[in-house]
Amino acid sequence: MSRIKLRYVHQFVDRNGKARFYFRRAGVHKTLPGLPGSSEFMAAYAAMLADPAMPVAVAHHAGVGSVAAAVKGYLASAAFVGLADLTRVSRRRILETFAKEHGHRLIAELERKNINTILKPFAGKPGASRNFIAALRVLVRYAIEVGLRSDDPTTGIKMPKLAPGGLYSWNEDDIAAFEARHPVGTRARLALALLLYSGQRRTDVLALGWQHVRDGCLHLRQHKTGRPLAIPIHPELQAVLDATSADNLTFLVSDRGVPYQPTAFTHWFKNRCREAGLPRRAGPHGLRKACCRRLAEAGCSMKVIAAISGHASLSEVARYTDAAEQRKLAEQGIEAITRTPSGKLRDRDWQTAQKANKTGG
Q: What is the pLDDT of residue 341?
A: 59
Q: Do 73 and 206 fall into the same domain?
A: no
Work out the number of other CB atoms within 10 angstroms of the CB of residue 217.
13
Say which range, 15-24, 138-147, 289-298, 336-345, has the weakest mean pLDDT. 336-345
- Domain-located, residue 18: no
pTM of the model: 0.61
Q: Do 246 and 133 fall into the same domain?
A: no
Residue 312 lies in domain: 175-331
Q: Is 249 within 8 Å of 259 (Cβ atoms)?
A: yes
- Domain-located, residue 123: yes
- Domain-located, residue 282: yes
pLDDT at 253 over 80: yes
- Domain-located, residue 204: yes
Q: What is the CATH number of the domain that holds 279?
A: 1.10.443.10
CA-based angle 179:191:274, to the nearest 5?
55
- Domain-located, residue 197: yes
Q: Do 245 and 287 fall into the same domain?
A: yes
The backbone torsions φ and ψ at residue 9, rounded to the nearest 5 degrees and listed phi first, read: -100, 130
- Domain-located, residue 22: no
Q: Which of 191, 187, 194 is nearest to 213 (CA)?
A: 194
Q: Do 319 and 245 fall into the same domain?
A: yes
Rounded mean pLDDT, 173-194: 97
**Per-residue model confidence as pLDDT tens digits over 138-153:** 999 999 998 888 999 9
What's the number of domains the chain is made of?
2
Q: Is 195 within 8 Å of 288 (Cβ atoms)?
A: yes
Q: Do 86 and 196 fall into the same domain?
A: no
- Domain-located, residue 357: no
Give the count of alpha carbons within 13 A of 183, CB side only.
Answer: 0
- Domain-located, residue 17: no
Q: Do 206 and 127 fall into the same domain?
A: no
Q: Do 139 and 209 fall into the same domain?
A: no
Q: Do 139 and 187 fall into the same domain?
A: no
**Per-residue model confidence as pLDDT tens digits over 10-52:** 888 777 778 888 887 765 678 888 887 776 777 677 666 655 4
Q: Do 78 and 208 fall into the same domain?
A: no
Q: Do 70 and 212 fall into the same domain?
A: no
Q: Do 99 and 186 fall into the same domain?
A: no
